[in-house]
Structure 1
Amino acid sequence: MSWRVSADIGGTFTDLVAIGPAGQLRTRKVSSSVGDYGRAIVEGLGQLFAEVGFQAREVEEVLHATTVASNAILEHKGAKTGLITTQGFRDVLEIRTLRMPRLYDLTWEKPAPLVPRYLRLGVTERVLHTGEVATPLDEAEAVAAIEALLAEGVEAIAVCLLHSYANPAHERRIGELIRARAPKLPVSLSVDVLPEMKEYERTSTTVINAYLGPVLGRYLTGLVEDLKGGGLAAPLLLMQSSGGLMPAPEAARLPVRCVESGPAAGVIGAQALAKRIGMPNVISFDMGGTTAKAGVIEEYQVAQAAEYSVGGGIMVGSRLLSGAGYQVKVPSIDLAEVGAGGGSLIRIDAAGAPVVGPESAGAVPGPVCYGKGNTQPTVTDANVVLGYLNPAGLVGGALPIDAAASRAAIAEKVAAPLGLSPEAAAHGAHLIAASNMIRALKAVSSERGRDPRGFALVAFGGNGPLFAAGMAEALGMRRVVIPPSAGVFSAVGLLASEVEVHLSRSWRRPVAGLDPAALEEAAAALEAEARERLLAQGFAPARIAVQRTATLRYSGQSFELLVPFAAGDSPAALAEGFGAEHERTYGHRAGAAEPVEIVALQAVGRGLPETPRLPETLDLPPGLPPQPPRPAYFGPKQGWLETPVLTRADLAVPRQGPAIIEEYDCTCLVPPGARAALDGFGNIIIELGEASP
């Protein structure tokens, strides 16, 4: 086995991990290079290679999770995109579904469409939902629309015609007409991106794919060239929002599948960890410098969502609070995300109350203690004042910090206006940040019908282990797991991921009276296509696994639920699976007489590796040198306590809190009353008090 490397770009840091033929796990954390994210990857890998002592030619694959796609949407810096649709439907993108994230907020405004109205053109044609052509395509009109968009200098074109999922002929023809006139122009057809019903979701997803295509394409082309310049000719694979990997050329063709690329990697890592240590039910908590993300693993399975919104503010993760951003209907890990990280700014609002985030200092200028020009205190500055973080430096001393500057900023900007001491103000900010992030944990647990007290909390990211124990205790959870290399754990999760192919098609049928043979035929066709695509990527037939799923709903419902099923399962078994999932999610199910209908079918193909993606035992990097105890503040009841500063290895003997475990990539806080120890896999296990009844 050769070396495998992974790179996860965050808003503040870029995390790099390499795993060697004997299970050597080596890490590097570098500041993200905003504006040219690939530079931090190439330079950081060069440092890692030099430190570990292996050559770039020994790397067999490079795995990557990136925020390039999501940032392009958030910052409205995607390609100039045109849209061709059925005459009379050019405003679907603007009308949307009339969902509002805040029902009683009269000041809320829909985000501006990614394609302005003058670049949205209709053509004469009409296909019925049955696939029957009611009005033939007017090719002269289509050509005129194409030429008008090209004259406007569009960089990509999306094509989304009414009911094309039932009959793609007109969309395919328009695609041919575009390529005949602009062979190099990126074209996104909805039948290739999302061949499913629901007009707004299909249009929005197709437009986002076109909008991101040139941006991600340029980024990946430049990254591949830079990697080759550094001697790295290994294939580049990207993390999808669903938690699977896809080759870089496929990601450039379907960038919409990589919008939530970064957050997905950490959940996959948590799933691999859960299987290894025998904990079937865990909640993953990933807190970095800008945001905090939560996901749920139940019975070792990652919870999946069929769609989500992006670009409309912070993703709360509630089905009742949708509609804020741009709808993306592709498979994704069911995540909740809030604007809380180490770089989140602390301020006093107009009413005189302290507020933490969602605005962030990011990588530049970063927290006040970084000394890069920021004067507004952040969560990291609060943790420095509280004594939780090393007052001399972070990242093993590679990032010097100015603890006095943190204390001065907290004192002036937060403590003085509130009439508090600096430590009391900092502790309040720490608790506010924790309460913001508890929203994310609730969104993937109690709001999904799951009791968090039945789960362990797996915490990672540069700041996750600092907050995990306090948050778990507030939710009545009794166990926290801090994996090795927790600060770069999302990059470790990349190394555990597998190649995936996702296919779907609308297939609306009532379950009652459904011919089992028709269901099997439709599902088998999708499964065969998934196998063909993986065969084309070099996987042997024996190394391919395909899972079938269906989206179902009670007749008349607006929302569906995803239900897995196997070959040979009867329609009645599928309906029973839907009823059970409905009850688990919403707390009730309808009676047996309530009609259930299938809305769509899906197939997920996985390319299984010849050897395990992560070996059974890992050779972990050495820990930091021992540090003397230091005072840490634990609120008005305990006050300042002299707190031992430990290494992970010190927990081979169980310790009672308070304790601080310092590592190269993160710091873990064990509060008073908690107990911490290492398990047989090198994980820190923090045991809290008994859960409330």
Structure 2
Amino acid sequence: MTVTWRVGVDIGGTFTDIVLFGSNGTIHTKKISSSVDDYARAIVVGLAELFAETGVTGEAIEEIRHGTTVASNAILEQKGARTGLITTKGFRDVLEIRTLRMPRLYDIAWEKPAPLVERHLRRVVDERVDAQGRIERPLDEDEAARVVQALLYEGVEAIAVCLLNSYANPAHEHAIAAIIRDLAPDLPLSVSADVLPEIKEYERTSTTVINAYIMPIVARYLRSLRGGLDRAGVPARLLLMQSNGGLMTTEAAVAKPMHIVESGPAAGVVGAQALARAKGLPDVITFDMGGTTAKAATVERGEVTRATEYSVGGGIMMGSRLLTGAGYLLKVPAIDLAEVGAGGGSLVRIDAGGSLQVGPESAGASPGPVCYDMGGTEPTVTDANVILGYLNPGHLVGGAVRLNAESARAAFEAKVARPLGLELARAAHGAHLIAVSNMIRAIRAVSSERGRDPRDFALFSFGGNGPLFACRMAEALGMRRVMVPPAPGLFSAFGLLYADVEHHFSRSLRRQTRRLDLAEFNAALNALSSQALDQLAAEGFTGAEARLRRAAALHYHGQSFDLTVPLPDGPITADALRALEEAFGQEHERTYGHRAGVEEPVELVSIQVIGQGIRAGEAQPLGGVPSRVEAAAPAPRHIFLGPEEGWVEAPVIRRADLAAPQTGPLIVEEYDATCLVLPDWRASLDDTRNILLDKP
């Protein structure tokens, strides 16, 4: 039987990770340095090297699944397209007024980020549609044409159109879109009625503008990648990971790139969900620690927790629903992630008050930690871990990266230990513990701050640095089980192989549930379902391969924040509506610790339909063994566990050696990650080669 292959590619700031998965269960992996000037180049080069190593040919590749940071980098670095905005007269400054929320309470020096569209590129038309969709002032198409021509004269590279109440009646927006297509048929265009037909002016405007801002960047990147793959003889179809954990085609990504802004972090959570389900773990907290940040998310009752909106470029994404407004708002479904600036490259420094601090600044890929010998002079978390004996100086990435332990010791001694008056090992251990405490904030943000007790969850740890900190994190949180998947340092690339094609559709439907017209409600749901099925059919998913999930966003009358709960299949009846109210009340109590009485009216805010494309019989890499041969385990080495335990000798083993359970302290070394097993933790392998860490 002919073996076909699927590829998962995840790009990080330091490494590009590639996983090649065959229909016969064979797995090949590759880590290659990211090509920051052109991320597509590292993908093509890495695949060519894998082909040379394995004998696989480009024609045998069936599909490439890709998580990318191209869209988020364009926003963070302010390198998106020169964008124009057309809006209703009187609403020119919505992007600057925002929602008046302050991310830093009492900080009068905080400044809002500059709008992505300069004021002179924000133009207005004198039209008005009311909240019920009635036209109060018709659009003057001659005026609209003059506004479009003025923006074209300014040299805009994309245009966003967002008029007041267009979610209720998009006629004026579509008329302006027609004018733009007539005057500039090739200009990227983002229309709010097509992008986000929902209430709330700032959220809708911001999302529409971001979509336009990154359209040319994403289109250019995907053209470059497609061209490189074609020249390399890899004609496989390309799918992009979305922020919500689903996959989308390149055509869909070019039209709505707003869905791939948080593409990279989502893949690992999807993979964790699949493995946790397979192992009978319905509730897990994922912990992904790389070189710059650590990210946490929850999988509850087998389902990934999603947020309905998030901010890009607002610094660290922490859990409070009140401290928002720092970045650029995107109102699209996304995996609910909390992120902190703590990774292997996080800088260790002494602040003005004489206290030891870790992050959020990072040494990045260049120059990197001091021990990388690439010009870095500031000590980092990785340098601390080398000093503590946790990392093997000669083994990183299978020996491809060698670490200079002496340089790490010298930098840490001069800049941390001596100024604090501490012995070197104690100073490094202190930095390690501070990194742990910083990362615990991310886990609490998605658990206790969401009304969940982390002790009820297992910790699913991956990323190049995640397994090194997993036991320490779990101990601090009272968690007693940790799972470390195979190839944890490449697990986000693995996660891409578990994902399904998804498309999310929504619309505002603001009604009190007890006054809801069921015929109107069902008609709106059916219309969204038809959109989803049509989109899936266009991509080849029909019949049993096309699945629909439905949800509703609700709040108590007068509230500002919504909670999303699932809707049952089939027509919504009065009984189903009462069950929906009850489900909302239960979720409100779980999240906020209380619920209102039955007399309090519940208000429907919007409805959502998710269309999923499921490939029948598609193999999953559960239990697959990467073909890369594990090197013989090096000799035991001394590690520092803190002032009480001091230096102890710890065995250094391979993952396969855990076929017979062992108790820490010990170190498991692999091609792409190192796992530290603390004293009293029991380490074993399950039947699909996950490392299970249990604390009695």
Question: Which TM bucket (shorter chain)?
Answer: over 0.9
CA distance in 2, matches of 1:648, 1:293: 24
Matching of residue 524 in structure 1 with residue 530 in structure 2: no
Query: What residue number does 1:571 align with?
Result: 577
Count of residues in Structure 1 that have an aligned counterpart in Structure 2: 689
Give the one of 292, 310, 313 matched to 2:312. 310
Query: What residue number does 2:376 align with?
Result: 374
CA distance in 1, matches of 2:521, 2:438: 45
Report SS of the residue matched to 2:111: coil
Give the one of 647, 656, 665 matched to 1:658. 665
Q: Is the 8 A contact 2:29 2:626 kept in 1?
A: no
CA distance in 2, matches of 1:181, 1:525: 32
CA distance in 2, matches of 1:285, 1:616: 20
Alignment of 1:670-689 (within 5 A): 670-689=677-696
CA distance in 2, matches of 1:473, 1:186: 51
Give the one of 374, 384, 398 matched to 2:386. 384
Q: 1:74 to 1:531 in 2, by over 3 A?
A: same
CA distance in 1, matches of 2:131, 2:518: 23
Query: What residue number does 2:597 align with?
Result: 591
CA distance in 2, matches of 1:438, 1:46: 40
Report SS of the residue matched to 2:524: helix
Query: What residue number does 1:600 align with?
Result: 606
Query: What residue number does 2:348 align with?
Result: 346
Alignment of 1:539-554 (within 5 A): 539-554=541-556
Report SS of the residue matched to 2:644: helix
Query: What residue number does 1:632 align with?
Result: 639
Task: State the Cα deviation string for residues 639-666 of structure 1 (Å, max 9, x = none).
Answer: 1111110000111111111100000010
Q: Is the 8 A contact 2:162 2:204 kept in 1?
A: yes
Report SS of the residue matched to 1:425: helix
Q: Is the 8 A contact 1:12 1:290 kept in 2?
A: no
- In the TM superposition, residue 35 of structure 1 has moved relative to its aligned partner by 2.1
Task: State the Cα deviation string for residues 421-447 of structure 1 (Å, max 9, x = none).
Answer: 221111111111111110000000000
Query: What residue number does 2:276 align with?
Result: 274
Query: What residue number does 1:6 align with?
Result: 8
Query: What residue number does 2:480 align with?
Result: 478
Q: Identity across aligned pairs (percent)? A: 62
Q: Is the 8 A contact 1:280 1:297 kept in 2?
A: yes
Greater shift in the superposed pair: 643-652 or 352-361: 352-361
Q: In structure 2, what residue type is equivalent to 1:668?
A: C
Task: State the Cα deviation string for residues 68-113 of structure 1 (Å, max 9, x = none).
Answer: 1111111111111110000110100000000111111111111111
- In the TM superposition, residue 192 of structure 1 has moved relative to its aligned partner by 1.2
Matching of residue 136 in structure 1 with residue 143 in structure 2: no
Q: 1:603 to 1:612 in 2, by over 3 A?
A: same
Matching of residue 609 in structure 1 with residue 612 in structure 2: no
Task: State the Cα deviation string for residues 31-64 of structure 1 (Å, max 9, x = none).
Answer: 2211211111111111112112211110000000
Greater shift in the superposed pair: 225-234 or 565-574: 565-574
Task: State the Cα deviation string for residues 345-379 of structure 1 (Å, max 9, x = none).
Answer: 11111112111111111111111111111111111
- In the TM superposition, residue 616 of structure 1 has moved relative to its aligned partner by 4.6
Task: State the Cα deviation string for residues 303-353 of structure 1 (Å, max 9, x = none).
Answer: 011001111111113212211111110010111011111111111111121
Q: Is the 8 A contact 1:624 1:662 kept in 2?
A: no
CA distance in 1, matches of 2:678, 2:64: 38
Q: In structure 2, what residue type is equivalent to 1:659?
A: L
- In the TM superposition, residue 568 of structure 1 has moved relative to its aligned partner by 3.2
CA distance in 2, matches of 1:122, 1:38: 39
CA distance in 1, matches of 2:17, 2:69: 13
Unaligned ranges ≥5, structure 1: none
Give the one of 559, 562, 584 matched to 2:561. 559
Query: What residue number does 1:503 align with?
Result: 505
TM-score, normalization by structure 2: 0.98
Q: Is the 8 A contact 2:623 2:687 kept in 1?
A: no
CA distance in 2, matches of 1:364, 1:227: 27
TM-score, normalization by structure 1: 0.98
CA distance in 1, matches of 2:162, 2:508: 15
CA distance in 1, matches of 2:518, 2:173: 31
CA distance in 1, matches of 2:346, 2:233: 38
CA distance in 2, matches of 1:544, 1:366: 46
Q: Is the 8 A contact 1:547 1:605 kept in 2?
A: yes
CA distance in 2, matches of 1:522, 1:174: 25
Q: List structure 1 runs of 4+ shifted beyond 4 angstroms.
A: none
- In the TM superposition, residue 290 of structure 1 has moved relative to its aligned partner by 1.0
CA distance in 2, matches of 1:400, 1:55: 31
Q: Is the 8 A contact 1:630 1:645 kept in 2?
A: yes
CA distance in 2, matches of 1:516, 1:351: 62
Query: What residue number does 2:303 align with?
Result: 301
Q: In structure 2, what residue type is equivalent to 1:235?
A: R
Q: Is the 8 A contact 1:241 1:257 kept in 2?
A: yes
Q: In structure 1, what residue type is equivalent to 2:571?
A: G
Q: 1:616 to 1:425 in 2, by over 3 A?
A: closer
Query: What residue number does 1:643 align with?
Result: 650
Alignment of 1:159-198 (within 5 A): 159-198=161-200
CA distance in 1, matches of 2:35, 2:369: 16
Query: What residue number does 1:223 align with?
Result: 225
Matching of residue 487 in structure 1 with residue 489 in structure 2: yes
Report SS of the residue matched to 1:195: coil
CA distance in 2, matches of 1:667, 1:603: 41
Alignment of 1:285-434 (within 5 A): 285-434=287-436
CA RMSD of aligned residues (A): 1.1
Report SS of the residue matched to 1:502: strand
CA distance in 1, matches of 2:338, 2:618: 29
- In the TM superposition, residue 4 of structure 1 has moved relative to its aligned partner by 0.5
CA distance in 1, matches of 2:46, 2:367: 20
Report SS of the residue matched to 2:274: helix
CA distance in 2, matches of 1:258, 1:31: 22
Query: What residue number does 2:70 align with?
Result: 68
Query: What residue number does 2:19 align with?
Result: 17
Q: In structure 2, what residue type is equivalent to 1:683?
A: N
CA distance in 1, matches of 2:162, 2:316: 28
Q: Is the 8 A contact 1:676 1:687 kept in 2?
A: yes
- In the TM superposition, residue 513 of structure 1 has moved relative to its aligned partner by 3.1
CA distance in 1, matches of 2:466, 2:336: 19
Q: 1:617 to 1:636 in 2, by over 3 A?
A: closer
Q: In structure 2, what residue type is equivalent to 1:637?
A: E
CA distance in 2, matches of 1:189, 1:641: 63
CA distance in 2, matches of 1:515, 1:86: 31
Query: What residue number does 2:240 align with?
Result: 238
CA distance in 1, matches of 2:354, 2:79: 35
Unaligned ranges ≥5, structure 2: none
Query: What residue number does 2:460 align with?
Result: 458
Q: Is the 8 A contact 1:392 1:403 kept in 2?
A: no
- In the TM superposition, residue 409 of structure 1 has moved relative to its aligned partner by 1.1
